[in-house]
Amino acid sequence: MPNYDLARMKWGGVLLGAAALYKVDEIPIIHLNAGDFHVSLETAALWAFRVATVVFIFLLIRSISSGVRHGRELDQMIAREKAMKRGEDRFRD
C-alpha cells in the first residue's frame, strides 16, 4: 500500500522550494535588445541555480522518504522474524 503522506510531503517540499526561489518581480530571462534575443549571463546563472536548488530539494526529500519506507520494511521483517520465533502463524507465508 503506497504511503500518500510521503508523496504529499515530497511534492509539497518541491513546490515550497520552488515558491521560495521564485520572485514575481524577477527580470525575464530573455531580453529584447534592438530586435535581437539574448540571454543575460547573470539571469541565466540565477535561473540555473534556482533549478539546481529545486532539484536538490526534490532529491533530498525523495531520499528521506525512501529511507523512511525502507525503515518500515525493516521493522516489518524484524517483527515477522520475532513472531515466527514465537510460533505465531499470522506472519507465515
- Which pLDDT does position 60 carry in this prediction? 82
Q: Across-strand partners of 39?
A: 30
- Which pLDDT does position 1 carry in this prediction? 46
CA atoms within 13 A on the CB side of 5: 2
Cα angle 41, 47, 48 (rounded to 5 degrees) comes to: 85
Residue-wise pLDDT tens for the chain (93 aa)?
455 566 666 666 666 666 666 654 455 555 555 555 566 777 777 778 888 888 888 888 877 777 777 777 878 888 888 888 887 666 555
Please name the helix (run of DSSP H) or strand (run of DSSP E) that holds residue 59, with its range, or none. Answer: helix 41-86
**Of 91, 19, 6, 13, whose CA–CA distance to 57 is shortest?**
13
What's the residue count for the chain? 93
Is residue 59 within 8 Å of 8, Cβ to Cβ? no
Task: Please indicate, yes or no, whether the overall pTM of this predicted structure exceeds 0.85.
Answer: no
Q: Across-strand partners of 32?
A: 37
